[in-house]
Amino acid sequence: MSSRIAVFGTGYLGATHAACMAELGHDVVGVDVDAAKISKLEAGEVPFYEPGLEEVLKRNLSSGRLRFTSSYKDAAEHADVHFIGVGTPQKKGEYAADLTYVDAVVEQLAPLLTKPAVIYGKSTVPVGTAQRLGELARRLAPVGDEVEVAWNPEFLREGYAVEDTLHPDRLVLGVDPKRPGRAESVAREVYAQLLDEEIPFLVTDLPTAELVKTAANAFLATKISFINAMAEVCDAAGADVTVLADAIGRDARIGRRFLNAGIGFGGGCLPKDIRAFMARAGELGADQALTFLREVDNINMRRRTQMVEHVREAVGGSLLGTRVAVLGAAFKPDSDDVRDSPALNVAGQIQLQGAAVTVYDPRAIENSRALFPTLNYATSAIEACVGADVVLVLTEWKEFREIEPDLLAKHVRERRVLDGRNCLNPVRWRTAGWDYRGVGRP
């Protein structure tokens, strides 16, 4: 059965969700206040790089199941199922999440609700938000108690957004047990195709659903910082963190995924989510429980400064007047996202220490230039490396893993490579005469 759906926010989360809900056969309208984004999406263009999304978008635009609007009135008339997929960035100068955009959706939408509706929040929010938004929506909506707010956190990874939306590991739905309503049955209709595939569907109360998401991200961040802490010890002891990760990862209780040491995690989620989690725990009087996340954050940020130090040592003690090639700017491969990107952060720090830095990334140049206009940008990996005293690989794009060390050697001044993601084959590079240095490996 097809549902009439509105999705608020057309960023990584919202645009993907809207397109994928149409793909499931629903009648969907995507809503955004940003007119430029809307017109791009209407033309079948995804405003960011996400493999596979454009096909889904185009297919569903032409089938007529998907359209976009900037009108809340249009959305309220169209849909009885609403998803909130707007951003919750870190507040300036604070750890807490900025809920302005999430609040604004409910403040604008609820007064237009003249028929029963369910609003599902998907954005990552501090625990307690769903309860508060439920009260707000019921107070503002002409239908009053006939509007329900439930929480349906999203776990999608950039680069795999379509796959993660259509075939997630699990679906989580938080409902208010004191207000039994239609939220669960409507969600079962919306996700019927996924439930047929026997994807686990966990129904919880509102605070648990909100916390599932924050806890998952806190765990992932901790796992990465754990292996990065081991990399520091490996560096000091002359051990190899990649082999260590392979060996401990064989233990099914530990698992090998998310144990790649390097310059650490970045992006629009993990860094700000662990900070918002600490801030919220503090408000709840449970700050002690999360003090370890401060250390997770510290280990992660230290990766960046240590990388800069390694580069400085590699070029003989001073970066002044050196030429540094940086391969990779996106916070991870298969993405054009540079939000809190470790790669770009390292590039910026090195430039501030007096080096001439040239950056190349297969997808993220445009976004990088907007954030760091004073770095030099190249149009290919080779161009970035011309005359370089040292080459840094900071995002593990496939293209960089496959670079021919012999070929690159012809363009650089010194055969010196620092692999900030342990993604190159040290034997290959050393055989080609390069001074190779990875992270946490001899």
- In the sheet where 27-31 sits, what is the strand order? 66-69, 27-31, 4-8, 81-84, 117-121, 147-151, 171-175, 201-205
Amino acid at position 158, single letter: E
Minimum Å distance from CB 409 to ligand UDX? Answer: 27
* Residue 169 CB neighbours (<10 A): 9
Query: What interhelical angle do 270-283 and 291-314 show, nearest 10?
Result: 150
Burial of 199 by CB count in 10 Å (0-12 exposed, 13-18 middle, 19+ buried)?
A: middle
Question: Which residues touch 363 (CB under 8 Å, ≥6 apart)?
Answer: 49, 330, 334, 335, 336
- Closer to ligand UDX by CB, 32 or 158: give it: 158
Q: With contact defined as beta carbons under 8 Å apart, do 363 and 426 qualify? A: no
- 159 or 426, CB closer to ligand UDX? 159
Considering the complex, what minimum distance in angstroms separates the CB of residue 74 from ligand UDX?
Answer: 29
Q: Tokens for 6, please give them.
A: 């509105």
CB of 217 or CB of 349, closer to ligand UDX:
217
Residue whose CB is less far from ligand UDX, 20 or 270: 270
* Pair of tokens at residue 261: 């040491």
DSSP H helical segments within 238-290, as ranges?
241-249, 270-283
- Nearest approach in angstroms of CB 174 to ligand UDX is 16
> What whole-number distance in Å separates Cα of residue 186 and Cα of residue 192?
10
Tokens (6 digits) for 296: 């997770």
Q: How many CB atoms are closer than 10 A to CB 142?
A: 12
User: What is the 8-class DSSP label of residue 374?
Assistant: T
Please report how close the Cβ of residue 437 comes to ligand UDX at its closest, in angstroms: 18
Catalytic residue among 20, 234, 269, 423: 269
Residue (3 or 16) nearer to ligand UDX, CB? 16
Dihedral pair phi/psi, residue 204, rounded to 5°: -135, -175
- Between residues 268 and 405, which has the closer beta carbon with respect to ligand UDX? 268
Instruction: Give catalytic status of residue 269 as yes or no.
Output: yes
* CA atoms of 417 and 214, how far apart (whole Å): 37
- The residue among 88 and 131 lying less far from ligand UDX, judged by its C-beta, is 88
Radius of gyration of the chain, Cα coordinates, nearest whole angstrom: 24
Decide if 29 contacts 75 (C-beta within 8 A). Answer: yes
Q: What is the maximum span of the chain, computed from C-alpha positions, in angstroms?
A: 73
Neighbours of 58 (CB within 10 A): 16
Q: Which is nearer to ligand UDX, 322 or 368 (CB)?
A: 368
CA 79 to chain centre: 28
Footprint of ligand UDX (CB under 6 A): 155-158, 217, 220, 224, 258-260, 262, 264-267, 269-270, 331-332
Structure tokens at 203: 């129904």
Q: Extract the tokens encoding 253.
A: 């209780």
| Residues taking part in catalysis | 269
